[in-house]
Structure 1
Amino acid sequence: MPRHRFAHAARFAAGALLIPALLGGCGTASYPSLARRAEEKPATAPAATAAVAALDQVPAGLDARIDSLLRAAREADKAFAAARPATERALNAAANATPGDEAWQQANLALSDLERQRGVLGVIEGDIEELYTQDRMAHAPENPDTPRAAARMIEAARSQILALGAAQDRVLDAARRKLPR
């Protein structure tokens, strides 16, 4: 029996001696260098300057497109402002009316006209948002912290148009609260 006990120990010892011999061959494999390759090195200053200059180029026709959208937005805002007094008069006349009365119906129609005028600016907002999104998608791989002339122009026009829309939304919200329910 004692011999049998040591037989396991002898096999274990042989295996323990074999493991370092097998692992010794693992260190001889050649691995690729971790040094930067030429294409991974940062661009030189002249190339970087040329890239930034290229980013500041405005695509042909973009100025005209943005001017057209801003002009249309201002016209839509003027039409909204022109429709506003009639809506206010109709809402004031319907202040004590019950829903369905003649005065209430007139106020509701005037409010609908004002909302239709708001819809005109809404279409322009959609156009500037589409232009903004197309620009963002076209330049997604670029560094987002590097402002481009075209992006700055689009963002400035977008903020102006969205500000007009927000002002009209506030007017409409106030007008809707005046209509008796």
Structure 2
Amino acid sequence: MIDRKHLVFPFAALLVAGCAASSDRYPSLAVRDVERAEGTFDPVPGPQLDVPEVEVDVGPDLGAGLTSLVADAQAAHTAFTDAVPAAERSVRAASGSSIGSDSWAAAQVALADLDSARSNAAIVLGELDTLYTAATVQAEDATAIVEARNTVIALVSEEDSVLERLRAQVR
């Protein structure tokens, strides 16, 4: 039987000899003249994009439309704040009660009523978001829209914090 150790050395010598063969049979890997980039290239102009106008329904006067939307949000916020004391009473009554009890169910209904009141302000925020997007796409001045939007965002954020506080008491 032939020992494999004795075959390894001659085989390795043959491999090394193959690496030492002359390189004139193989092409050079150096950069060729045609591979060198010279000169300048002018970019090909792309097609011009036609941005369609976004239709928004705020009436002919944007300022009056924004004032009306903010007034709607404030009215929705007033309805929300008017419903908060009743919801707080229901939540206090349900505090510590088991899930599915009558007091827990009453608190869930009161929280759902608050969610519904909050959604009225969120609808206005959605309309303001649409106006803001349309103005931005058309590259128009959106300063007045941003101010109205920030006002409504503050109202909705306040409502969100009230809902979060009340929901934490019922769980």
Shorter-chain TM-score tier: 0.5 to 0.7
Q: Which has the higher helix share?
A: 1
- Per-residue deviation at 1:60? 4.1
- Per-residue deviation at 1:64? 1.3
Percentage of matched positions with identical amino acids = 33
Distance in 1, matches of 2:126 and 2:118, equals 13
Identify which of 159, 164, 169 aligns with 1:168: 159
Higher relative contact order structure (alpha carbons within 8 Å, sequence separation ≥ 6): 1
Q: Deviations over 1:37-70 (max 9, x none)?
A: xxxxxxxxxxxxxxxxxxxxxx941011101101
Q: How does 1:65-80 map to 2 (within 5 A)?
A: 65-80=65-80
TM-score, scaled to structure 2:
0.64
Residue type at the aligned position of 1:70: V
Q: Which residue of 2 aligns with 1:88?
A: 88
- Asked if the contact 2:96/2:170 (under 8 Å) is kept, the reply is no
Q: How does 1:1-181 map to 2 (within 5 A)?
A: 60-139=60-139, 148=141, 151-180=142-171
Distance in 1, matches of 2:64 and 2:81, equals 26
Q: What is the aligned residue count?
A: 114
RMSD: 1.7
Residue type at the aligned position of 1:161: V
Residue type at the aligned position of 1:78: T
TM-score, scaled to structure 1:
0.60
Q: Deviations over 1:94-124 (max 9, x none)?
A: 1121000010100010011001111111101
